[in-house]
A and B are shown apart, each in its own frame.
Chain A
Amino acid sequence: MGYGTYVAKKVLIYFSVLIATLTILYIFTFPVLQEVIAKSINFQVSQFAQSLLKNSHNLNTTQVQLSIEKYRETLIAAYGLNEPIINKYFIQMYNLLRFDFGTAYFIQAPSGSREVSAIIAYYLPNTILLFTTATIIFILIGTIIGLLSAKSRFWEKVIAIIAVIHSSIPTWWLGFVLIAALAYAVRIFPSGGMTSVPPPKNPFDYGLSVLYHMSLPLITIFIVNVGGFAYIVRSLVSSIMKEDFVITAKARGLPDSRILYRHVLRTASPSIATQAILAIAGSLGGSLTTEVVFEWPGVGLLTYIAITLNDLPVILGVTYVLTIVLLIGLFLGELIYGILDPRIKVGE
């Protein structure tokens, strides 16, 4: 099995997983989904009625009523509201795969569109910017600390402490405390948002402003996550240290650091990659509330606003999109795993 076949197989598996996951979501949210679709139809009908009344003065009331009713019926047919549940399911799956999540009740994208996909498309890049940067930083530094701790007792103790912190501190709470301390008590960092108000015009200043606003959330996510990741790396490395080839290398008299970085790290890298992907998946889902605290205009803040406004279509849309993003992440992880694991390249 070469790398191509491996990728093709994975694509098939992940597509089937996507369908299955969306089905589970559909089953769990079926009642609210019906409500959402009914409201969406009402909204579209009222818009249609308005435009009809505005543009066609030669129609009488019965004709207007008739065409509005006709329009409503075509919409009901299009959304499959009066069809058997299995048809509803297929229509919904088709819509989801086309990123058609319906119309939001209240929230608008800055472009003025009420399409849920347009709203999410505006906020998602901000989330990805913050969390990928944060994850890359804590994975790099976590790996380094994990490797160091495999060598020294001191780092091992440090790791144990920060791993406890990792498993017990909610990121959003730490963010809350840091904002109170570093943004209001001592004014070093901005208290929230993505850029200063008003946003700078010059692209360089704009980037600088984003970086400045990103630093406190980055620090928060880093503190909470680095220990847990270093702990995982440490246990992976220490289990490999017991393997025969490491003992052989030691017997050959190779220096410790060479063994650690050449032999052990190379063997551990596929597992570290998998763990890194799992960490990204976990941090994205769980840290959405961090955005609420830092007023970072991403999907998390959007979800919070949607919750306070009871804007169901947006919440459902966010859930679908994050499922897809998570699956893409896991899929990329498998691809990286395939590249790093020599057995797959050789075709074992």
Chain B
Amino acid sequence: MSKRDIGFSSYLKDFLHNKIGLAGLIILVVLLIFTGIALSVPSHVYASWNNPAAWSEYPEHVPPAWLSIFYPNKYFTTVKLSPTNVSLYSPAKNLYISSITFEFNWSKTLPAYNVYFIISTNASPIEEVLYWTKPDGNTLQINIPSEEFNVPFDLTSIRNNILSYISSITGKTPNIVNSTVLSSALFNSPKSNLTLTEEGKYIVKVEIVSSKQINVSKANILLLGNSYGLMGTDYFGRPLDLGVLLGLPNALEIGALTSLVSVVVGIIVGGISGYLGGNKDSLIQWVTLVFLALPALPFLVAVSFVTQPSLELEALLIAFLSWPFYAIIARSMALSIKSNSYVEADKLLGIPSYRVFFTHFMPRLIPITVAYMALGVPAGILLAQTLAFLGIAPANIVTWGGILDAAETYQAQVNGWWWWVVFPGAMIVIVAIPFVLIGFAVERITLGER
């Protein structure tokens, strides 16, 4: 033990003078601010995370948007177009035609990732036709199937017309039909056999034919980019930056709860065990060993089949398994405190043992308790995320482990979707680091520099 004073304010002063500890504290404050932001996200966003339909207007498995800074020709973000002209005319009685025109300039060497049409009217149309005019004047006519009226739809919903256009130009139908292939038909020049993108002004006209007066309530075209947001999107188009943010509160909660319970229980059990000694110590050590021998991961997996654990229950189960580690440490600490001469002196003076425990043991155990509480948070977070990675997580919450599980399932590593693997995992590390730093700083202050 160091010879410095025991007292809260002196610990705090030392802590604030410690660079490592201060750095940890600052990161923690930043994380708490983000937690506040995450908690203010409306609950329906959390609920829609596992619903793929909610993310259909987002580009699927695209890298982060900031890549466009490094590769301006290769990466671009989604462009939302508003109509430049909406006209309505009635060529005959009970026949109304609404024509919505969009115009945009395309100067990228790649076609848009996908094109999303959001057009809704008050009437149910008889017919809806799309005219896609390329810069060189070529016009592609696409008849929209009736089931797509008034519903946002993308290129895969209108693939038949586009495929016949592709085969009319290249002379063969493509083997793989995905949004990229379909989009290349809209953006690439027919002269180059649809391999080169045409740059210039595109005009898109949507004609809606109806028997009633048409009132267009919404008309937009999304030219989906091949990059999105800060962290890209996953296989379903879910933006990963949102997922990472939504995963923050529960990670912190489970880490804090686990560490609080397991460290307090462990230090009390271990401290008493080392303090009492003798047969009682042997008995407590035996109990500690029993819990130490339970393999955490399989045990939690097996138990989660009995009850579907909530977040709090999962934290308590993890704490139930991890307190022995702290008990072992606290016991050895207590043993070393016990060998000090002032403890022996108190015993000789006939001071009751509970008072000796509170005056000499607890004050010396509390700082180390704080240190291990901080160090215990990452352990809890890691175990909880590992469980989520195995597909065992409390229902209706977003976890980074769960996101990584999906990345594993959809073979993100094989497909080169590195952002899907790197960012959620890096968040586990980023959340763990401040606690580790704070724990190390407190440990160093209490045990003293060598």
Chain A residues at the B interface, C-beta cutoff of 8 Å: 13, 16-18, 20-21, 24-25, 28-32, 160, 163-164, 167-170, 172-173, 176-177, 179-180, 183-185, 191, 235, 238, 241-242, 278, 281, 284-286, 288-289, 292-293, 303-304, 307-308, 310, 312, 315-316, 318-319, 322-323, 326-327, 330
Given contacts A170-B425, A173-B428, A323-B295, contact A286 B306 (CB under 8 A): no
Verify A323–B301 contact, CB threshold 8 A.
no
CA distance A166 to B377 in the complex (A): 14
Given contacts A289-B389, A326-B295, contact A180 B413 (CB under 8 A): yes
CA distance A167 to B408 in the complex (A): 23
**Residues in A neighbouring B293, C-beta threshold 8 A:** 17-18, 21, 323, 326-327, 330
Verify B286–A176 contact, CB threshold 8 A.
no
**Residues in A neighbouring B447, C-beta threshold 8 A:** 235
Chain B interface main SS type? helix
**Residues in A neighbouring B422, C-beta threshold 8 A:** 177
**Residues in A neighbouring B378, C-beta threshold 8 A:** 167-168
A284 to chain B, nearest CB (A): 7
CA distance A13 to B301 in the complex (A): 27
**Residues in B neighbouring A242, C-beta threshold 8 A:** 450
Verify A315–B414 contact, CB threshold 8 A.
no
CA distance A184 to B412 in the complex (A): 11
Residues of B408-447 contacting chain A, CB below 8 A:
408, 412-414, 416, 418, 421-422, 425, 428-429, 432-433, 436-437, 440, 447
Verify B302–A289 contact, CB threshold 8 A.
no
**Residues in A neighbouring B437, C-beta threshold 8 A:** 164
**Residues in A neighbouring B301, C-beta threshold 8 A:** 303, 307, 315, 319
**Residues in A neighbouring B425, C-beta threshold 8 A:** 170, 173, 176-177
Verify B296–A285 contact, CB threshold 8 A.
yes
Verify A179–B294 contact, CB threshold 8 A.
no
- B392 at interface by CB-CB < 8 Å: yes
Given contacts A167-B379, A173-B425, contact A17 B295 (CB under 8 A): no
Partner of A312, one of B286, B305, B389: B305
Nearest B residue to A19, CB-CB: B290
CA distance A185 to B421 in the complex (A): 14
- B25 at interface by CB-CB < 8 Å: no
- B140 at interface by CB-CB < 8 Å: no
How would residues 384 to 400 of chain B score, 1 for a CB under 8 Å from any chain A CB and 0 otherwise? 01100111100000000
Nearest A residue to B413, CB-CB: A180
Verify A167–B289 contact, CB threshold 8 A.
no
Verify A177–B421 contact, CB threshold 8 A.
yes
CA distance A224 to B286 in the complex (A): 30
How would residues 350 to 379 of chain B score, 1 for a CB under 8 Å from any chain A CB and 0 otherwise? 000000000000000000000000010011
Verify B408–A176 contact, CB threshold 8 A.
yes
Q: A13-B289, A285-B297, A316-B302 are in contact. List 12 more A-B contacts (CB 8 A).
A: A168-B436, A176-B407, A176-B408, A284-B295, A285-B295, A286-B382, A303-B390, A319-B298, A319-B299, A322-B295, A327-B293, A330-B292
CA distance A310 to B378 in the complex (A): 29
- B383 at interface by CB-CB < 8 Å: yes
- B404 at interface by CB-CB < 8 Å: yes
Given contacts A17-B289, A17-B293, contact A32 B305 (CB under 8 A): yes
Q: Give the interface residue-count category, chain B.
A: 35 or more
A56 to chain B, nearest CB (A): 39
**Residues in A neighbouring B414, C-beta threshold 8 A:** 184, 191
- Nearest 5 A-B pairs (CB), nearest first? A168-B432, A173-B425, A180-B413, A322-B295, A319-B298
Verify B306–A318 contact, CB threshold 8 A.
no
B422 to chain A, nearest CB (A): 6
CA distance A184 to B414 in the complex (A): 6
B305 to chain A, nearest CB (A): 5
User: Can you report 30 residue pairs joining A to B where beta carbons are below 8 Å apart?
Assistant: A17-B289, A32-B302, A164-B436, A168-B429, A170-B425, A173-B404, A173-B425, A176-B404, A176-B413, A184-B413, A185-B416, A241-B450, A285-B296, A286-B297, A286-B383, A288-B297, A289-B386, A292-B408, A293-B408, A307-B390, A307-B392, A310-B305, A312-B305, A316-B302, A318-B298, A319-B299, A319-B302, A322-B298, A323-B295, A330-B289
Given contacts A168-B378, A179-B413, contact A25 B404 (CB under 8 A): no
Verify A17–B286 contact, CB threshold 8 A.
yes
**Residues in B neighbouring A168, C-beta threshold 8 A:** 378, 382, 428-429, 432-433, 436
CA distance A308 to B390 in the complex (A): 9
**Residues in B neighbouring A235, C-beta threshold 8 A:** 447
**Residues in A neighbouring B294, C-beta threshold 8 A:** 21, 24-25, 323
B326 to chain A, nearest CB (A): 12
Residues of B300-320 contacting chain A, CB below 8 A:
301-303, 305-306
**Residues in B neighbouring A315, C-beta threshold 8 A:** 298, 301-302, 305
B349 to chain A, nearest CB (A): 27
Verify A167–B295 contact, CB threshold 8 A.
no
B417 to chain A, nearest CB (A): 9
CA distance A47 to B294 in the complex (A): 35
Nearest B residue to A281, CB-CB: B292
**Residues in A neighbouring B413, C-beta threshold 8 A:** 176, 179-180, 183-184, 191
**Residues in A neighbouring B392, C-beta threshold 8 A:** 307
Given contacts A13-B286, A21-B294, A28-B306, contact A292 B440 (CB under 8 A): no
Nearest B residue to A238, CB-CB: B450
Given contacts A18-B293, A285-B297, A327-B293, contact A29 B436 (CB under 8 A): no
**Residues in A neighbouring B389, C-beta threshold 8 A:** 170, 172, 289, 292
**Residues in B neighbouring A170, C-beta threshold 8 A:** 382, 385-386, 389, 425, 428
CA distance A329 to B422 in the complex (A): 35
Verify B306–A307 contact, CB threshold 8 A.
no
**Residues in A neighbouring B325, C-beta threshold 8 A:** 278
Given contacts A31-B306, A173-B428, A323-B293, contact A286 B386 (CB under 8 A): yes
**Residues in A neighbouring B297, C-beta threshold 8 A:** 285-286, 288-289, 303
CA distance A280 to B386 in the complex (A): 18
**Residues in A neighbouring B299, C-beta threshold 8 A:** 25, 28, 319
A237 to chain B, nearest CB (A): 10
Partner of A288, one of B298, B379, B421: B298
Verify A176–B421 contact, CB threshold 8 A.
yes
**Residues in A neighbouring B433, C-beta threshold 8 A:** 164, 168
Residues of B260-294 contacting chain A, CB below 8 A:
286, 289-294
CA distance A307 to B294 in the complex (A): 19
**Residue in B289, B418, B447 whose Cβ sees the most chain A Cβ within 10 Å:** B289
